[in-house]
Amino acid sequence: MAMFIRNSPALRSAANSVRIGVFSMAYSKLSEGTDITSAAPGVSLQKARTWDEGLSSNFSTTPVTDIFKGKKVVIFGLPGAYTGVCSHQHVPSYKNQIDKFKAKGIDSVICVSVNDPFTINGWAEKIGAKDAIEFYGDFDGKFIKSLGLDKDLSAALLGPRSERWSAYVEDGKVKAVNVEEAPSDFKVTGAEVILGQI
């Protein structure tokens, strides 16, 4: 019985679905030279905040153009708040190197995830990264989809989410971009790699 389960086509399919993004670069619209604001026209993100802060701001959003225009930005995307690699490796790599980014003239280091801004806020506070990194929710996935970095993670019970990726952007233009072969990987999207690309 154990052999049957291990070799089950359904189980193999689920495992392959979790090992996502093998061809992610082929389908991603995001590449060096891309104008990220043109790739995501009219798209806005939701800055991490409490529910009360959301109410008081009338649930305002931040246009992507405001995030990148005239700025040097390092942005990284990940599958979801409170998930393993995201919490224990990806975000801490940026949090721990924030002084090096500032020394290189980076205006902001941004984390974006397909989550609501309230979940992102609670997570950012829990992992103690909110003072170093700006967190944004892409609650409907429009930003990620517009960049071709969306991925169905239903096999991991997450639904439509994001690839694990990072980019260095100057005045909206992508200067460097990295996408993991699978969102469970953490090989090319950490802080050390992007620091070497600035």
Could you give the residue numbers annotated as active site?
86
CA-nearest of 150, 180, 175 to 165 is 180
User: Residue 132: phi, psi to the nearest 5?
Assistant: -95, -35
H-assigned helices in 83-158: 84-85, 91-95, 98-103, 117-126, 142-146
Is the CB of residue 75 less than 8 Å from the CB of residue 182? no
CA distance 116 to 51: 10
**In 3D, which of 77, 69, 79 has the Cα closest to residue 36?**
69
| Whole-angstrom distance, CA of residue 116 vs CA of residue 118 | 6
- Residue 111 tokens read as 């984390």
Find tokens 């072969």 and name the residue.
181
- Residue type present at position 66: D
DSSP strand pairing (160-162 vs 62-63) = unpaired
